[in-house]
Structure formats: structure tokens, C-alpha cells
Structure 1
Amino acid sequence: MPEYRRILLDGAVVETVRDGDDLVAGDGRRILAAEATHLPPVVPSKVIAVHLNHRSRVEEFQITLSDTPTYFHKPTSALNAHGGAVVRPEGCKWLNYEGEVAIVIGRTCRNIAPADAGAYIAGYTVANDFGLHDFRDTDAGSMLRVKGSDTLCPLGPGLVTDWDFHGKYIRTYVNGNLVQNGSTDEMKWNMHYLVADIARTITLHPGDVLLSGTPANSRPVVPGDVVDVEVEGLGRLTNLILSGPTPIRTDVGAQPTESEEVLSTALGGDWEFRGIRPPRKSR
């Protein structure tokens, strides 16, 4: 399966093709993938994410999934890449990982049938749909700051074409420890359905990204943690959690909260039955 990566090479943005351990530019220059400075593999005009899709996540929250999916929007200013730092703002502490598969659009797409959606997909990449749940109360519905704050949308390392999304594992690791272990087969709505659903009213352009949902066990991470998301056939996305040096301003806007909604979402929906576990201290 071909894999394409965008990197910084000698100060320029370059499209490369993976060749084993190397990345090869169009002019023949080579660099070890492990030594490259990665960029998001695509440049989307929008990033759209489904709220809930994985059966294990629905069961974890002990809720009934609706008959049709619902979505939120992550601004493109939240984009990040393989090897990039995810910044938890000073004054916040409920930053959760969410390992996912990202769908990348390849052709302008509007009002198509699910059966035809595959022809409009360029490929797939790995995503980590980080959520800053400290703002969940104040951004209820929109999820703007929760999911759209700077650095909270890592994608990569590359765009893989000709990938069959059936029966693939999705695994997330924190400091090398397995914390999420799901499968694309537990998704209620598959990749083609999601594309066709959004494209009924929103035109999707080449490079646009749809995030397809996360398995159970999204939990908070702290500065110093290293988070890896691995999807079978798509590779491994790695990010370091850092603390933002500037505190959230207190002279404007709503402030971070720790309501039942915040805690139950950050800790998996059943915190009241097993006690509140404070987030670990920074490493």
C-alpha cells in the first residue's frame, strides 16, 4: 500500500513516498523516516469528527446510541503532526487522548450514495482526537475549545492509499502501556457511510478529513506523557504532552470547570461508582 508523507526537508515543505525506513522526495533526496520533521500528511479545508461510533465506547458510557451519527468540527488551527507536541494549557488538567482512523477526501464530494463513497476517498491516516474537557461545560454542543484548541488534532505519520478498513485494530499507548484496544469492526457506521452522510449538505474538498470515532478507555494524560496511536496498516502516530507556559486568562471568558459532566467524560462515564481519580502529576 503506498504511503505518502509531508515533511520539512532542507527548510522546504516536501511531499515524499515511504520506501522502507526511508522517505524519498520527488527529486530523489532520501531521509530516514525516524529523523524527518513531519507535517500533517494533508492540508484540509475542514476537519469533521463523529461524536460516538465504537460499540465499546457506547457501552462504557452506558448509553443508547442514536439511529444516526452526530458530528462536531475541529478548526484547522488545531492540526498537529507525528512527533509534534500536544500542549495542555496551564490551568487545565483534563486532557484526554482518543485514538482514531482519519478518512481523507480525494475528490470534491457532494450528495453521493454510501456505495459510491469509496471513489471519493484518497486514503486514510492515524489521528488522535485530543479533548480538553475542562471546557466541556462552557462549550456544550459546539465542542469548540474542548476539541479545537491548538495542537489537539495530530494526524499522521502518512497518508495510506488502497487500505481496506475492515477488521483493523486501533490501539493507543501511554508511555508504552496499552490503554485502548479496539477494532474498526465495532464501528456502527463505516467510513463510506460517514462520508456520504456529511456530503448530503456539506461539500467535501480534496484533503478534507473526517475522524471516525474512538474505542473505549479515553483517559487524561499529563505533561511528560508520550502517547502513541497505532492502526493496523496505517502506522504509528507519536506525540509528547507538554504544559503550556501561559495560564488560561482569567480576565475574559468562561474558566475551566470540574463538574460532573467534565469528570464523567474524562474518566469514562462511571467515576461516581469507583471514586474520582485525580490526574497524575506531570512526569
Structure 2
Amino acid sequence: MPEYRRILLDGTIVETVREGEELVAGDGRRVKARDATHLPPVVPSKVIAVHLNHHSRVDEFGIGLPAAPTYFHKPTSALNSHKGAVVRPEGCKWLNYEGEVAIVIGRAARNISQAEAGQYIAGYTVANDYGLHDFRDTDAGSMLRVKGSDTLCPLGPGLVTDWDFHGKWLRTYVNGEIVQDGSTDEMRWDMHYLVADIARTITLYPGDVLLSGTPANSRPVRPGDVVEVEAEGIGRLTNHIVTGPTAIRTELGAQPTESEEVLSTALGGDWEFRGVRPPKR
């Protein structure tokens, strides 16, 4: 399956094709993939994510799926890349990973059927839909700061075409240990359904990204952790967590909180509130 990557090569943004362990630019220049400075593999006009889709995630929270999927928006300023640093702002503690498969649109789509949707997909990449749950109490309706803060949308390493999404495993690792282990077969709504559903009222343009949902066991990570997401047949996206150099401003706006809603979501809905808080991270 062809894989395309965007990198910085001698100070210029270059589109490359992966050939084994090397990335090849259109002019013939080659660079080792491990040595390349990666960029997000696509330049979307918008990033749309489904709230819940994997049955294991729904079971973890002890809730039912809605009759149809619901979505939120991640601003393009949240985009990040393979090997990029994910920033947990100073004063925040509840930054969760969410390993996902990202759908990339190949041509403008509007008012299409589910059966037609595959014709509008350019390919797929790996995503980590990080959530800064410290802001969940104030942004639960929009998820704007929870999911849209800077650096919280890594994509990559590359765009893979001709990928069959059926029966593929999806895993997340923290410091080398598996923390999420799911499958695309867990998804209530498949890739074609999601594209057709959104395109009923929102025109999707080439490069636009749809995040297809995460399996169970999203948990907090802290500065110093290395988080990797691997999707079978697509690739392995690697990022590391750092602390922001300045604290969230306190003289205006909603502040980070640690309510039961915040902790329950960050810890997977399985933490019983007995007056004892989990260890500080």
C-alpha cells in the first residue's frame, strides 16, 4: 500500500513516498525515515471527531450508544506530527491519550451515500485524539479546550492509501507498554458511514480529517511519557509529553478543575469516589 509523508527537507516542505526505511522526494532526494523531520501528512481545512464509536469504550463507561453518532470539532491549530511534543499546560494534570484511525478526504464530498463514501476517501493515517480533561467542566458541550488546545491532534507518520479498514487492530503504548488494544471491528459506525453522515450537511474538502473513535482504557499521561499509537497496516505514531513553559492565565476565564466529572472521565469511569484522590501526576 502506498504511503505518503510530508517532511521538512533542507528547510522546505516536501511531499515524499516511503520506500522501505527511506523517504523519497519527487526530485530524487532520499532521507532515512527515522531521521526525517515530520509534518502532519495532510493539511485539513477542518478536523471532525466522533464522540463514541468503539463498543469497548462504551462498555467501560457503562452507557449506551446514541441512535446515531455525535461529533465535535478540533481546530487546525491543534495539529501536531509524528515525533512532535504534546504540551500539557502548566497547572493541568488530566491529559489523556486516545489512539484512533483518521480518515482523510480525497475530493469534495457533499450529500453522498454510504455506498459512495469510499470513492471520496484519499486514505488513512494514525491519530491521537488527546483530551485535556481539566477543562471538561466548562467545555463539555463543545470540547473546545478539552480536545482543541494546541498540539493535541498528532497525525502521522504518513497517509496510507488502499487500506481496508475491516478487522484491523489498533493499539496504544505508553513507555513501551500496551495500554489500549482494540479493533476496527468494535466500531458501531464504520469509516464510510462517518463520512457520509457528516457530508449530509457539511462539505468535506480534500485533506479534511475525520477521527473515528478510540477503544477502552484512555488514561492520563504526564510529562516525560512517550506515547505511541499503531494501527495495523498504517503505521506507528510517536509523541512525547512535555510541560508548557507558562501557567494558564488566572485573571480571566474558566480554570482547570478536578470535579468528579473530570476524574471519572480521565480515569475511564471506573474510579469510585471514596474521598481519596488518585496520586498526583
Q: Under a length normalisation based on structure 1, what TM-score does the superposition of the two structures give?
A: 0.98
1:100 matched residue in structure 2: 100
Instruction: Work out the number of aligned pairs and report it.
Output: 280
2:93 paired with 1:115: no
Query: Following the alignment from structure 2 to structure 1, what is the Cα–Cα distance between the partners of residues 77 and 47?
Result: 10
Deviation, structure 1 residue 273? 6.3
In the alignment, residue 121 of structure 1 is paired with which amino acid? I
Deviations 1:105-155 (A, max 9, x none): 000000000010000000000000000000000112100000000000000
DSSP 3-state at the match of 1:31: strand
Q: Is the 8 A contact 1:7 1:13 kept in 2?
A: yes
1:199 matched residue in structure 2: 199
Structure 1 segments, 4+ long, off by >2 Å, are 273-280
In the alignment, residue 4 of structure 1 is paired with which amino acid? Y
Matches within 5 A, 1:46-65: 46-65=46-65
Matches within 5 A, 1:50-199: 50-199=50-199
In the alignment, residue 60 of structure 2 is paired with which amino acid? E
Deviation, structure 1 residue 270? 1.8
Q: Is the 8 A contact 1:220 1:279 kept in 2?
A: no
1:259 matched residue in structure 2: 259
Query: Following the alignment from structure 1 to structure 2, what is the Cα–Cα distance between the partners of residues 276 and 268?
Result: 15
Query: Following the alignment from structure 1 to structure 2, what is the Cα–Cα distance between the partners of residues 93 and 152?
Result: 14
In the alignment, residue 261 of structure 2 is paired with which amino acid? E
Q: Is the 8 A contact 2:260 2:273 kept in 1?
A: no
1:214 matched residue in structure 2: 214
- Percentage of pairs with the same residue: 83
In the alignment, residue 268 of structure 1 is paired with which amino acid? G
1:277 matched residue in structure 2: 278
Q: Under a length normalisation based on structure 2, what TM-score does the superposition of the two structures give?
A: 0.98
DSSP 3-state at the match of 2:180: strand
Deviation, structure 1 residue 278? 2.7
Query: Following the alignment from structure 1 to structure 2, what is the Cα–Cα distance between the partners of residues 224 and 67?
Result: 40
DSSP 3-state at the match of 1:258: coil
In the alignment, residue 21 of structure 2 is paired with which amino acid? D
Query: Following the alignment from structure 1 to structure 2, what is the Cα–Cα distance between the partners of residues 159 and 3?
Result: 5
DSSP 3-state at the match of 1:56: helix
5+ residue gaps, structure 1: none
5+ residue gaps, structure 2: none
Query: Following the alignment from structure 2 to structure 1, what is the Cα–Cα distance between the partners of residues 198 and 122?
Result: 16
Q: Is the 8 A contact 2:123 2:163 kept in 1?
A: yes
Matches within 5 A, 1:217-232: 217-232=217-232
Query: Following the alignment from structure 1 to structure 2, what is the Cα–Cα distance between the partners of residues 154 and 198?
Result: 22
How large is the Cα RMSD of the aligned pairs? Answer: 0.9
